Amino acid sequence: MTLREFYVKTNADYDAVIRRLMNETMVLKYLNKFQNDGYFTELQQSVCRQDYETAYRCAHTLKGLCLSLGLETMRKPVVELTEELRAGKTENAAAYIAVIEPLYADIIRWIGELSA
């Protein structure tokens, strides 16, 4: 899969991502880092432990990564979760994780297809 095809799947603007990160090499570098960074796993675990301070930090970091890397399929629920946790609203955190998890899995799978 090409990088442009990847961004079609994520509902993002390929050209905007390239302008932001300057070239395909940089985008690929950061996508590869994203798949290995562990923030989503830590977010899941933090919510399970009810450690909402850590969950907020992870969600906030993921929000920034989604925005920077143009991961539009995941952006909206991650932004919503971040804002709920910022406001101290924790009752829906597990439900957000359930929504984000398959989106994250798709992105990781597609990044793997880029690397192949």
Tens-of-pLDDT digits for all 116 residues of the chain? 999 999 999 889 999 999 999 999 999 999 999 999 999 999 999 999 999 999 999 999 999 999 999 999 999 999 999 999 999 999 999 999 999 999 999 999 999 999 65
Asked whether 116 and 43 are in contact (CB, 8 A), the reply is no
Query: Residue by residue, what is the 3-state secondary structure of 18-87?
Result: HHHHCCHHHHHHHHHHHHHCCHHHHHHHHHHHCCHHHHHHHHHHHHHHHHHHCCHHHHHHHHHHHHHHHC
pLDDT value of residue 74: 95
pLDDT value of residue 108: 95
pLDDT value of residue 17: 94
pLDDT value of residue 16: 93
Task: Write down the pTM of the prediction.
Answer: 0.92
